[in-house]
Structure 1
Amino acid sequence: MLRVYYCNFQSPAISICALKFSLFPTHSISSTRPFITTTTTSPLSQTLISSPSSSSFKRVFRMMDHSASRASASYSTGSSPDVGRELLVQHLLVKEEDKDLLFELQKRLVRGEDLSDLAVEYSICPSKQEGGMLGWVRKGQMVPEFEEAAFTAPLNKVVKCKTQFGWHLLQVLSEREESVLKDIQPEELHEKLQDPDFREEAQFIDVREPHEVERASLSGFQVLPLQQFGSWGPEITTKLDPQKDTYVLCHHGMRSLQVAKWLQTQGFSKIYNIAGGIHAYAVKADPSIPTY
């Protein structure tokens, strides 16, 4: 049975994140997951959310991708057939020495028990709070052993792999073409915003805090403050359409990049981070917008 979970960014700082790359070092956030290749020590991947705080949100997003530390988003390239492919993955993690437990869990899975239920009870990865759900992952985000197992696993079949964090039982629940995340320059956005059809077809979010929005804002942007992530994060797919082009704004482009990366894990197909934020927009595109 496929269950939908949101990742709790308040999970203990151990593991999942380490599987993925540290994405946002500029915020000095400690990672919270295991397998993501990152500068931190946790293992896997940041992803879905359940009543998280903004600080825990930041911890999760350190795991994703070195490109984020440069505050720019771009397409990945390569000749591998897996480039451009994303997998929806869940897993459970046990210590390397717990082989008896590993074998017992494998037997229970063969008998028809649900991986998510076993993850909640036995996994030592913080993702256990979400039934082991890691969200959508792509090549280059995880430690090599986990990545190899995930990208060669048959759909919906539980497979085993060993990493520096211990033994994993993982399951690929779905796959899709890689979502698009890229920067858009303020001048280009300003030109697009003059077209009523563009405003109708796209969706716009501003992740700054209310006191910032009072000082400077762009019309048509829905305000979803990062500090209030716990209130709107779990409901994001009811507030926004994942199939629409989504434009994300903040003050200088860093917070918006964090949210844009997270939107990728929630199934949003095309996300645009406004480079330099509203400050750059005011300086480069529309001087009538106040700077602060």
Structure 2
Amino acid sequence: MFRARNKIFLLNMLRTTHLSPFSSPSFFLPNLRLPLISSSSLPFSPLRTPCYSSLPLLHLPRLFTPTFSPPSSCSLFIWNPFMGTNPRPSGKVWFSAGNGDLQSKEILVQHLLVGGDDLQLLVELQKRISGGEDLSDLATEFSICPSKEIGGMLGWVRRGQMIPEFEQVAFTAPLNKVVRCKSKYGWHLLQVLSEREESLLEDIGPEEFYSKMQDPSFVEAAQLIDVREPEEVDIASLPGFKVLPLRQFGTWGSLITDEFNPQKDIYVLCHHGVRSMQVAKWLQTQGFKKVFNIAGGIHAYAVKADPSIPTY
């Protein structure tokens, strides 16, 4: 049974130490950022945008297949390619304490959904939860939302990604307390498991980054990661970057917060900006407050900003 409140279980699910080195970047990329529930499979979800799981595909390879097709009139979802969250977190988990600013926090939330005419069932489920049963177990059995397949887990969400009636309750609910609300889809029981400060991810253009690199103090103090392979770095490289090849993610992923400070800005580089964006999004999930992806990678940097850097 999926018991989201069990801390040991959550930590085990969030670790990446079991991951072995990947044979190629193409194997890693689709597993780094995995749709938890796609916009086409959740006609009853409180989410307005797709949510991304904290669990690598290797954990749950069969849980994300839609169980049915939604009605064509479903228009809940607004696509946002940068929505978190959420590979959520592997390695160390950095949560903010206290309620903080409601406009700048993310919450980890699970829920179950019953029909609008099933208030009696909702009350019964609330009593069972009060008696010690777990919301996630009941979601698996009774929820009409496809998230039931993973115990009602919606992952990390921020304001603007959920329907208003659900969002209002979720962002004011006490941690770990099961509360209810009603939406046009029915009755929800929801539980906020944790909260943290919202992180930011931005592209930085090669010209702007080149300007920063001209300052020796920036190069010395900045947190710089190059996720290309060693043979690529041998051809072209920039000073100050720590090389963490994507193929070797299994060896360094769980140690990232030992090597770098999540409170400081961090910059990620690859060949064309694709691999670095994947890693940048993952760094968000590890609690890094501000992450920069170097747009276009070292190729764009060489072409647009510094022709002394070889291209390949």
TM range (shorter): 0.5 to 0.7
Letter in 1 for 2:161: Q
Post-superposition offset of 1:199: 3.2
Task: Provide closer, same or farther for how the CA distance between residues 15 and 177 of structure 1 changes in structure 2, counting only shifts above 3 A.
Answer: closer
Letter in 1 for 2:54: L
Cα distance in 2 for partners of 1:267, 1:234 equals 13
Post-superposition offset of 1:150: 2.0
- Out of 6, 31, 34, the residue aligned to residue 14 of structure 2 is 6
Matches within 5 A, 1:66-215: 66=80, 68=82, 84-93=103-112, 96=115, 105-113=125-133, 115=135, 125=147, 128=150, 132=153, 134-135=155-156, 137-161=157-181, 168-215=188-235
Task: Give the structure 1 partner of residue 306 of structure 2.
Answer: 286
Cα distance in 2 for partners of 1:273, 1:161 equals 39
For residues 60-89 of structure 1, what are the alpha-carbon distances to aligned partners after superposition, in whole Å with 9 as ceiling and x for unaligned? xxx9963659xxxxxxxxxxxx78412221
- The SS at the match of 1:66 is coil
Q: Percent identity?
A: 56
Matches within 5 A, 1:33-72: 36-38=47-49, 45-50=51-56, 52=58, 66=80, 68=82
Q: Any gaps of 5 or more consecutive residues in structure 2?
A: 17-29, 66-76, 84-100
Post-superposition offset of 1:246: 0.9
When the two structures are aligned, how many residues end up with a matched partner?
Answer: 255
Cα distance in 2 for partners of 1:166, 1:262 equals 34
Whether 2:37 is the aligned partner of 1:16: answer yes
TM-score, length-normalised on structure 1?
Answer: 0.63
Post-superposition offset of 1:287: 1.5
Cα distance in 2 for partners of 1:201, 1:97 equals 56
For residues 191-210 of structure 1, what are the alpha-carbon distances to aligned partners after superposition, in whole Å with 9 as ceiling and x for unaligned? 32344432343312233455
Residues 108 and 195 of structure 2 are in contact (CA less than 8 Å); yes or no, is this contact kept in structure 1? no
Residues 36 and 53 of structure 2 are in contact (CA less than 8 Å); yes or no, is this contact kept in structure 1? no
Task: Give the structure 2 partner of residue 276 of structure 1.
Answer: 296
Post-superposition offset of 1:275: 1.9
Cα distance in 2 for partners of 1:151, 1:230 equals 35
Cα distance in 2 for partners of 1:151, 1:270 equals 23
Root-mean-square deviation (CA, aligned residues, Å) is 4.7
Residues 201 and 290 of structure 2 are in contact (CA less than 8 Å); yes or no, is this contact kept in structure 1? yes
Letter in 2 for 1:241: N
Residues 252 and 280 of structure 1 are in contact (CA less than 8 Å); yes or no, is this contact kept in structure 2? yes
Residues 50 and 233 of structure 1 are in contact (CA less than 8 Å); yes or no, is this contact kept in structure 2? no
> Which piece of structure 1 moves more, 198-207 or 156-165?
156-165
Task: Give the structure 1 partner of residue 23 of structure 2.
Answer: none
Letter in 2 for 1:190: Y
Cα distance in 2 for partners of 1:186, 1:264 equals 21
Post-superposition offset of 1:258: 3.4
Residues 87 and 138 of structure 1 are in contact (CA less than 8 Å); yes or no, is this contact kept in structure 2? yes
- The SS at the match of 2:14 is coil
Post-superposition offset of 1:274: 1.1
TM-score, length-normalised on structure 2?
Answer: 0.60
For residues 109-135 of structure 1, what are the alpha-carbon distances to aligned partners after superposition, in whole Å with 9 as ceiling and x for unaligned? 323455567678887528838x93713
Q: Any gaps of 5 or more consecutive residues in structure 1?
A: 20-29, 39-43, 70-81
Residues 51 and 234 of structure 1 are in contact (CA less than 8 Å); yes or no, is this contact kept in structure 2? no
For residues 134-188 of structure 1, what are the alpha-carbon distances to aligned partners after superposition, in whole Å with 9 as ceiling and x for unaligned? 13x2222334454333223234322235678876543234444432322222233
- The SS at the match of 2:202 is strand
For residues 230-264 of structure 1, what are the alpha-carbon distances to aligned partners after superposition, in whole Å with 9 as ceiling and x for unaligned? 55445543443211211112233333333323322
Residues 302 and 309 of structure 2 are in contact (CA less than 8 Å); yes or no, is this contact kept in structure 1? yes
Post-superposition offset of 1:226: 4.5
Post-superposition offset of 1:282: 0.9
- The SS at the match of 2:51 is coil
Cα distance in 2 for partners of 1:151, 1:260 equals 26
Cα distance in 1 for partners of 2:147, 2:197 equals 27
